[in-house]
């Protein structure tokens, strides 16, 4: 079968389609016939920096998420032909991930979905929409009539957060560095848009947010903490600003009284989470967002764009 295989750290132009054996089901593991896989920046990090590290089980097929059908299962909960999504749990790092025609995946991270969505749209959902959903529900405790500000609303997670936030009954504010992005953000459901110049706390907004999803990261975190009401919650989920660490961080000094700072990591999805996400998508007629589609044979172009950035949305790898 065809697959992308990473043996060591390499450049995008070094990637090739390889022929490897088709896996067979094992106790606790199912074989998924992969139709498409959403691409994520973590795959660039793997290729450039992590593939030579001992904690990466090379040679490895990258891809932290995929969608497809059950091909083979020894587990009674899955039947051949079941539509499934799979994500995280070590995919593409500890064991082969989604960038292949058939993937052997642990049942703990494979979830049945009841949807007639086309494969490309479905591939846009697992990681991006679960990360957005988890940030909103598990970290920000979003509820109806909250005012949610999504900092980085044009990113893949940001777009999903705007859609899911509006579907949850919140007033949604989306930010971008470019006013030209406002039309798209509002089309996703945002009630209000504002330019992010790094100083949102000084902006005169129609409604001051009590919940803020921080996708830029350490670069703007202090400003986000000053932006929300008291009480208010800030959830740091992304690092689009390229800064990952705040040195000499003094929480007493920088976290205002009455403001909660939290975060969200997407490594532990559940079937209940997936059911809730797809219910929101169906009931609120949400259209999953993706912007570029590549085939396995175009893996060099796909990774080049993913590494450079600026795709304007989710990149999908079409497997078949």
Determine the average pLDDT of the residues in 126-151.
99
Q: Say how far apart CA 275 and CA 277 lie, in whole Å.
A: 6
Determine the average pLDDT of the residues in 276-287.
98
Domains, the chain, with CATH or none: 2-117+289-318 (3.90.180.10), 128-263 (3.40.50.720)
Q: Tell me what the pLDDT averaged over the chain comes to.
A: 97
pLDDT at 242: 86
Contact, 294 vs 301, CB < 8 A?
yes
Q: Say how far apart CA 11 and CA 317 lie, in whole Å.
A: 18
Rounding to the nearest 10 degrees, give the CA dihedral for residues 33, 39, 43, 45: -170
pLDDT tens-digit map of 209-234: 999 999 999 999 999 999 999 999 99
Contact, 35 vs 69, CB < 8 A?
yes
On the CB side of 308, CA atoms within 13 Å amount to 10
Residue 129's nearest CA partner among 171, 91, 100, 168 is: 168
pLDDT confidence band for 35 (50 / 70 / 90): very high
Answer whether the bond into residue 179 is a cis peptide, omega within 30°. no
pLDDT at 311: 82
Q: Say how far apart CA 148 and CA 140 lie, in whole Å.
A: 9
Q: Say how far apart CA 201 and CA 111 lie, in whole Å.
A: 40
Whether residue 310 has pLDDT greater than 80:
no
Percentage of the chain lying above the pLDDT 90 cut = 96
pLDDT tens-digit map of 85-97: 999 999 999 999 9
pLDDT at 316: 98
pLDDT tens-digit map of 143-202: 999 999 999 999 999 999 999 999 999 999 999 999 999 999 999 999 999 999 999 999
């Amino acid at each position: 079968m065809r697959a992308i295989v990473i043996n060591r750290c390499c450049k995008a132009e070094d990637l090739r389609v390889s022929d490897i054996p088709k896996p067979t089901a094992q106790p606790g593991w199912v074989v998924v016939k992969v139709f498409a896989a959403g691409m994520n920046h973590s795959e660039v990090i793997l290729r450039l920096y992590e593939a030579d590290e001992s904690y990466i089980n090379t040679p490895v097929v990258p891809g932290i998420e995929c969608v497809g059908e059950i091909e083979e299962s020894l587990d009674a909960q899955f039947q051949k032909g079941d539509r499934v999504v799979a994500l995280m749990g070590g995919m593409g790092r500890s064991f082969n991930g989604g960038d292949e025609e058939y993937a052997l995946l642990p049942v703990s991270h494979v979830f049945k979905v009841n949807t007639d969505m086309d494969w490309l749209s479905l591939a846009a959902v697992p990681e991006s929409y679960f990360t957005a959903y988890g940030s909103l529900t598990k970290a920000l405790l979003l509820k109806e009539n909250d005012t949610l500000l999504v900092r980085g609303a044009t990113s893949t997670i940001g777009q999903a957060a705007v859609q899911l936030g509006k579907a949850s009954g919140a007033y949604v504010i989306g930010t971008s560095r470019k006013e030209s992005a406002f039309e798209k953000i509002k089309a996703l459901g945002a009630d209000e848009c504002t330019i992010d110049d790094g100083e949102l706390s000084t902006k005169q907004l129609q409604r001051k947010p009590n919940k803020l999803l921080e996708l830029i990261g350490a670069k703007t975190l202090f400003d986000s903490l000053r932006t929300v009401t008291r009480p208010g919650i800030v959830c740091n989920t992304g690092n689009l600003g390229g800064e990952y660490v705040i040195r000499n961080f003094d929480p007493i000094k920088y976290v205002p009284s009455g403001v909660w700072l939290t975060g969200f990591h997407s490594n532990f999805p559940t079937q209940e989470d997936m059911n809730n996400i797809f219910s929101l998508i169906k009931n609120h007629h949400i259209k999953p967002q993706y912007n570029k589609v590549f085939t396995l044979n175009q893996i060099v172009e796909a990774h080049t764009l993913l590494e450079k950035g600026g795709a304007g949305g989710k990149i999908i790898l079409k497997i078949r």
